Structure 1
């Protein structure tokens, strides 16, 4: 028994000594250098420490490290060979420090390093061959710095790089040689910079690029998109720029593009060939522009389109055949425009619609909803017509939608009351929340209300469910309705009030029970008394009978016997 316990204790102690992952916070240089048994460490995280400077061969004892994180530690300088000895290192993070000069920090290549995070530091410039000692690097994060210059061949030797993050810097121009040689680059983020122009050959060698973010910049022209290097691009974000016009055939080389975001620009129209060549496009966002005119065939080549967002523009009308070629559409968002009318045949060919957003327009009829495709599944259709100018709609054909929002319209009061009397399904919404002061509470209460018009004047209908309103109950409450002289309607009929005393009903019940108990007790005593009397009489009678019988049966002696 004892040898087993000793062996188990030794095993626990041996595991206790072999620490593979270590996390330290609020440490300093001395504490890190005094760490013992570092030959077993594979992961080391130093966070919120005081490490402003790292000397040469600082990590030479950590030769088995695979992951090293040194963040939020005020690190401002590393000697030229601070990372010596980390030949097996795969992931290195020096983010959220004060580094300003980028060097390789090693005398030998870190051949196993695939992930390098230098984000949120103070780098201002990338020098040539800054990363030549990291030949296997696949992810490089430089976001959140102050980089304004990138020298030629700065990324030289990174033939395996797939993900490059340069967002949140101060780049103003993209030269044609910045990303040359990055043949395997898959995603590139350049958003939140100051980019005004991009040279035509900037992405010529990046033939594997799938995702490109250029939002939050100062671009006015998109001519660089016509180069061949972006033929395999799938996701392109150009929102929050200064683009005023889409050149004809500008996207003709982006054969595989599926997501295109052009929101928050200065576009005024969409011409016939502006989106030509985007046969694979599935999601198009042109919201928050100044588009006033859409060409009838502007969406004609987008045969795979699933979602289109044209909200927050200046559209007043839409061509009747605008969506004829887009038979796969699932979502149409046209909110916050100035659309007055839609053709009744506009959506007839749409068999896959699930969402129609038309809130915040000037529609005065909804006839287009009466002529939807017979093959459309209405049970899954969401329609928002709130904040328009509708007076009435044909509800009979709209009751089976998944959701129908009709709040904030110019309803006719007569039509509205007539339909509110009906029991409408919960999927039909007429009302919007109001806040009013009511008689049931001193606080402001949320209720539901509807605006309507009658005879040229505005009315409001408040919907209240009185059964849900909490009422204060008091013992002395005399719930007698009062007559309001300002209300012309007569008070409701009530039964005359019968005067009653205020004797406690509970006491009445108790005294009644006591009286019943006493009555039963009296009856029981009376019965026992009668029974005792009857028994006494029967006993006396039996005694008399016994004496008589004894006298009668007594033998009589004759004279001979007497003598």
Structure 2
């Protein structure tokens, strides 16, 4: 007995003239043979079905199929010829199933197939010539399997392959034969494996490789980067590994590299020759390391650098000429280090700065803000100096920034109050959010405040917008003030009783409408009175005129007779 929804769908399809795309869910393998006009369907999607096994020639009726998806259907096995008849198939997905072995599943090559998705299965090994009957594949997704072994020539014959995804597997070593012959490979994803080592010639034949992801592995050495196969690499992600040292000129052959991520490693220092040859590098991320020393010339080869992130390290100082060669810098992130002082001239050569992040350091002065490049557009600059040890700053130099965050510093109370009483632009922020438990008002649970020091005493200033406080929440129904019972505040000696009107806003509006209606009625009555008087006056004038004419008419007739 068929599922009611499936039967209704099949009945609906039987009345259609042509069906190009068909999606079925919660079905089983007995429904697929019942689909009418199967030879007209070009896109078939089977999701959340019960299909533990596909027999030979299972899709033979779908001769014009271009895209086929069998996802999340408990599929664990396909017969050797289950894909027979799909000569035009271009995209094939078996993701989120239980496949443990990989075969061609066809007696003849599927020459039109360009995309194959086998992610989220249970594949443990890739054997030789695993994709030999798919010669024109351009993308293979093998992510989130259990692959720990890749046999030699597993990808043999895939001369057109451009994108290979092997992330989320159990690879421990990259052999020189794994990717041999993939001359057109453009992107390779190996993140979140267990890779400890990579042989020197692993990517020697991948001369078109542009993107390489190795983040989330256990790499200690990066010597493989010196091979010539990575000369055209543009994006390289090495974050979340165990790299402790960068060899001098280790990136010298990656001269087209534009984005390099070395975050979450164990780096301790950057030397002069560390980034030698990276003239095209635009984005460098070395955050979350243990860097305590940066050579004054460690960034001199990065003439195209736009963004640099050195946050969450152990830097205590920076050389004054550290950014001298990086005139194109836009974003500088130095947050959460131990920097105590910066030279006033450290950003003198940067004309395109948009963001300076220095939060979470121990700076006690911000003199560099006074010596920024005169060609710099300060209205586009964001500066974050929060959570430092600043006691005072020159306010005249901060009035024209796009935004500057000065919260959570060791401000002098006298200096702070003297500046807070002035009307500061909204681009300057001194306050940090506080969560306060109180019985005064629920709307004031989250407030803004500033900490300051007065001598050896720490004080806090709460910033409130008095105009936003709702007074009716502080009064009872009778209009009398409410008191805090545990700590009552006595009223003044003389408490005048001021009579209050009982009219609320609705009553006022009603009385105004009544007054307007009365005024209109009065005007209308006055207009009628005036019109009535005018009519009476007109009637009197007309009567007098008629009397005058009737008096003279006989005399005129007599004159005509004579």
TM-score w.r.t. the length of structure 2 is 0.84
- Alignment of 1:497 onto 2:499: no
Q: In 2 relative to 1, CA 159–331 (structure 1 residues): closer, same or farther, beyond 3 Å? A: same
| Structure 2 Cα separation of the partners of residues 342 and 15 of structure 1 | 77
Using a 3 Å threshold, how does the CA distance of structure 1 residues 286 and 155 change in structure 2: closer, same or farther?
Answer: same
Residue equivalent to 1:45: 45
Q: 1:445 Cα deviation (Å)?
A: 1.0
CA distance in 2, matches of 1:501, 1:491: 19
Equivalent residue number for residue 3 of structure 1: none
> What stretches of structure 2 of length at least 5 have no aligned partner?
1-11, 519-562
- Quote the residue 2:426 is aligned against: 426
For structure 1, the residue ranges without an aligned partner over 5 or more in a row are 1-11, 518-563
Alignment check: 8 A CA contact 1:348 1:371 kept = yes
In the alignment, is the contact (CA less than 8 A) between 2:14 and 2:36 conserved in 1?
no
| C-alpha separation in 2, matches of 1:359 and 1:486 | 43
The separation in 1 between residues aligned to 2:164 and 2:116, in whole angstroms, is: 10
Q: Counterpart of 2:378? A: 378
Shift of 1:17: 3.1
Q: Kindly indicate whether residue 447 of structure 2 is the aligned counterpart of residue 447 of structure 1.
A: yes
Match of 2:227 in 1: 227
Radius of gyration: which is bigger? 1
Cα 1:408–1:499 shift into 2, 3 Å = closer
Query: Residues 14 and 432 (structure 1 numbering): CA distance in 2 closer, same or farther, change over 3 Å?
Result: same
Question: Which residue, 467, 472, 477 being the options, matches 2:479?
Answer: 477
Equivalent residue number for residue 144 of structure 1: 144
Q: Does the CA contact (< 8 Å) of 1:305 and 1:329 recur in 2?
A: yes
What secondary structure is seen at the aligned counterpart in 2 of 1:338? coil
Query: Which whole-Å deviations, capped at 9, do the CAs of 1:442-480 have from their partners, x for residues lacking one?
Result: 676111100000011101011112221223244422459
Q: 2:13 and 2:300 mapped to 1: Cα distance? A: 73
Distance (Å, rounded) in 1 between the aligned partners of 2:426 and 2:338: 29
Residues 70-125 of structure 1, C-alpha deviation per residue, up to 9 Å, x if partnerless? 00000000011110110000000000000001000001000000000000000000
Q: Take 1:146 and 1:480, find their aligned partners in 2: how far apart are those partners?
A: 69
Contact 2:13/2:19 (<8 A) preserved: no
Partner of 1:210: 210
Runs (4+) off by over 6 Å: 12-15, 490-494, 501-506
Residues 440, 469 of structure 1: 8 Å contact kept: no
Corresponding residue of 2:78: 78
Shift of 1:18: 1.4
Matches within 5 A, 1:360-379: 360-379=360-379
C-alpha separation in 2, matches of 1:448 and 1:142? 51
Q: CA RMSD in A?
A: 2.7
Q: How many residues align?
A: 496
CA shift, 1:441, in A, is 2.1
Q: Does 1:170 align with 2:165?
A: no
Structure 1 partner of 2:105: 105
Partner Cα distance (1:486, 1:31) in 2: 79
* 2:466 paired residue number: 466
Matches within 5 A, 1:339-350: 339-350=339-350
Distance 1:14 1:122, change over 3 A: closer
SS at match of 2:450: strand
Provide closer, same or farther for how the CA distance between residues 499 and 430 of structure 1 changes in structure 2, counting only shifts above 3 A.
closer
Task: State how far apart, in whole Å, the 2-side matches of 1:504 and 1:379 are.
Answer: 51
Give SS of 1:451's match. Answer: strand
Verify the 8 A CA contact 1:335 1:361 in the aligned structure 2. Answer: yes
Deviation at 1:141, TM superposition (A): 0.4
Q: Aligned to 2:30, what secondary structure does the other structure show?
A: helix
Give 3-state SS (helix, strand or coil) of 1:206's partner: coil
Could you say if the C-alpha distance between residues 475 and 258 of structure 1 is closer, same or farther in structure 2, counting changes exceeding 3 Å? same
| Alpha-carbon distance in 2 for matches of 1:503, 1:20 | 73
The residue aligned with 1:190 is 190
Judging changes above 3 Å, is the alpha-carbon distance between structure 1 residues 492 and 425 closer, same or farther for their aligned structure 2 residues?
farther
